[in-house]
Amino acid sequence: MSDALKESNFSFQGQTDFYRGKVRDVYYFGDKMAVVASDRISAFDHILPRAIPYKGQVLNGVATHFLNASKEIVPNWLLNVPHPNVAIGQRCEPIKLEMVIRGYLAGHAWRTYKSGERILCGVNMPEGMKESDKFPEPIITPATKAEEGHDEDISAKDILAKNIVSEELWNQLTKYTYQLFELGTKMAAERGLILVDTKYEFGIKDGKIMLIDEIHTPDSSRYYILEGYEDRQKEGLRQQQLSKEFVREWLMENQFQGLEGQNMPEMPDSFRDIVTDRYIDLYQRITGLEFVKKEYANLESKIHESINNYFNPLPH
79-115 residue pLDDT tens: 999 999 999 999 999 999 999 999 999 999 999 999 9
Residue 241 forms part of a structural domain: yes
Residue 76 lies in a domain: no
Q: What is the pLDDT of residue 147?
A: 61
Task: Please state the separation of Cα 189 from the chain's center in Å.
Answer: 19
Identify the pLDDT of residue 146: 66
290: number of Cβ within 10 Å: 8
Q: Which residues of the chain have pLDDT under 50?
A: 1
Rounded CA-CA distance 267/242 in Å is 19
Q: Which residues contact 97 (CB under 8 A, 6 or more apart)?
A: 142, 143, 144, 145, 154, 159, 164, 165, 173, 201, 202
Residue 309 lies in a domain: no
First to last CA, the chain: 34
Residue 1 has a pLDDT of: 37
The pLDDT of residue 148: 58
Residue 132 domain flag: yes
Show Cβ contacts of residue 315 under 8 Å, excluding neighbours closer than 6 positions.
none
What is the domain range of residue 126? 94-246
Alpha-carbon dihedral 21, 27, 29, 31, rounded to 10 degrees: -20
The pLDDT value recorded for residue 45 is 84
Domain count, the chain: 1
In a domain, 311, yes or no: no
CATH number at residue 172: 3.30.470.20
Q: What is the pLDDT of residue 308?
A: 97
